[in-house]
Structure 1
Amino acid sequence: MARELRVPKALTALPAPVRWLALPVALTCTVVALVGSWGPADRAVEVPDPTGRAAGYCRALAAALPKELLGHARKDPSPASPYVAVWDSSPRTVLRCGVDRPEELDGPHAKDLSPTVDDLTWWSQKLDDGSYRLVATMRAAYVEVISPPGVYSSPLDPAAALTPLVKANIPG
């Protein structure tokens, strides 16, 4: 005894070509939506171009940086640079050494929170995407850490973990 397939009345009211195309169109739309929601696997990071002693200090810092930061593996962008380090924290934690002095330090953000960790001051700025930009100030080279939202219990955690290395490699 063959069992009959019941088609909902809403579908039987549609012309046959529409019914036949409904499933392929729905699947195609789903695939397009999923693929479109994926971000680029390795967004470009602007590489600073320090000169003189600052470049040397940044190279020394790069050699001392850990392969893992607070449980997140290091996954540097390609091509590699001694001035950029990235940890795959989804979204990524990015360190850039040798950045220019932030212009905001002279503007309305100059009074933003600047926590001190082990006598190293990190000027902080909350960015539009919810991440924090932390810049080690009063050093021979400026070091910037972008702390992504929702990854750490405090946005200062990656900067705090990197403080001893910054202090050891970049004089104040």
Structure 2
Amino acid sequence: MARELRIPKALTALPAPVRWLAVPVALTCTVVVLIGSWSSADSQVEVPRPSGKAADYCRALSAALPQELLGHARKDPSPASPYTAAWGSSPRTVLRCGIDRPEELDGEHAADWSPTADDVTWWSQKLSDGGYRFVTTMRAAYVEVTVPACAAQNSFDPAAALSSLVNAKIPG
């Protein structure tokens, strides 16, 4: 005994060509959404453009950066640059070397929490998403480490883990 295929009433009201295209269009839209989510916006990082000695220091730091940071593999952002590095996937910790001096260092946030590790002082800024931005102070090149919420057990851990390399490669 053959089973009869039942088509929902909403679909039977549509013309036949529309019914035939409904499933392929739905599948195509699903694929587009999935591909869009794979190439997320956080894969793009604004690349600093240091010059002179700052660029030399940043390239030296880049060559010394670890392939793993606090158990997270290094996955550098695009476009590739000796001035950026990242660890983890989503969320991920991002390092940018040779950034401009943050204006906030002169404003009301200048007195924000500034932890020190391995003779490197990091100015901190709590971000709206719950993460933190750490920027070195009193160095020949400014280094920024952005740590999203939940990327580390303690938000300062990634910056602290990189402090000895920053101290060794970028003079204070």
TM tier relative to shorter chain: 0.7 to 0.9
Which of 125-134 and 137-146 deviates more? Answer: 125-134
Q: 1:93 to 1:50 in 2, by over 3 A?
A: farther
The alpha carbon displacement at 1:78 in A equals 5.7
**Match in the other structure for 2:131:** 131
Instruction: Give the conservation status (yes or no) of the 8 Å contact 2:47–2:83.
Output: no
- Secondary structure, in 3 states, of the residue corresponding to 2:152? coil
Q: 1:57 to 1:130 in 2, by over 3 A?
A: same
Q: 1:74 to 1:4 in 2, by over 3 A?
A: same
Instruction: Give the conservation status (yes or no) of the 8 Å contact 2:75–2:88.
Output: yes
Which of 129-138 and 81-90 deviates more? Answer: 81-90
| TM-score, reference length from structure 1 | 0.79
1:151 & 1:122 partners in 2: Cα distance?
Answer: 18
Task: State, as a whole percentage, how many aligned pairs show the same letter.
Answer: 72
The alpha carbon displacement at 1:42 in A equals 4.0
**Match in the other structure for 2:74:** 74
1:16 & 1:101 partners in 2: Cα distance?
Answer: 63
Counterpart amino acid of 1:154? N
1:165 & 1:129 partners in 2: Cα distance?
Answer: 28
Instruction: Give the conservation status (yes or no) of the 8 Å contact 1:131–1:149.
Output: yes
Which of 153-162 and 94-103 deviates more? Answer: 94-103
Q: How does 1:9-48 map to 2 (within 5 A)?
A: 9-38=9-38, 39=40, 42-48=43-49
Counterpart amino acid of 1:103? E
2:42 & 2:142 partners in 1: Cα distance?
Answer: 27
Q: What RMSD over aligned residues (CA atoms) do the two structures have, in Å?
A: 2.7
Q: 1:147 to 1:19 in 2, by over 3 A?
A: same
The alpha carbon displacement at 1:96 in A equals 1.9
| TM-score, reference length from structure 2 | 0.79
Instruction: Give the conservation status (yes or no) of the 8 Å contact 2:113–2:123.
Output: yes
Instruction: Give the conservation status (yes or no) of the 8 Å contact 1:50–1:99.
Output: no
- Secondary structure, in 3 states, of the residue corresponding to 2:154? coil
Q: 1:108 to 1:3 in 2, by over 3 A?
A: same
Instruction: Give the conservation status (yes or no) of the 8 Å contact 2:92–2:148.
Output: yes
User: Mind listing any 5+ residue stretches in structure 2 that lack a counterpart?
Assistant: none
Q: 1:33 to 1:70 in 2, by over 3 A?
A: same
Alpha-carbon displacement from aligned partner over 1:56-77 (angstroms, at most 9, x marks no partner): 3333322321111112222334
Instruction: Give the conservation status (yes or no) of the 8 Å contact 1:58–1:98.
Output: yes
**Match in the other structure for 2:113:** 113
Q: 1:91 to 1:11 in 2, by over 3 A?
A: same
- Secondary structure, in 3 states, of the residue corresponding to 2:85? strand
- Secondary structure, in 3 states, of the residue corresponding to 2:19? helix
1:116 & 1:58 partners in 2: Cα distance?
Answer: 20
Which of 15-24 and 93-102 deviates more? Answer: 15-24
The alpha carbon displacement at 1:137 in A equals 1.1
User: Mind listing any 5+ residue stretches in structure 1 that lack a counterpart?
Assistant: none
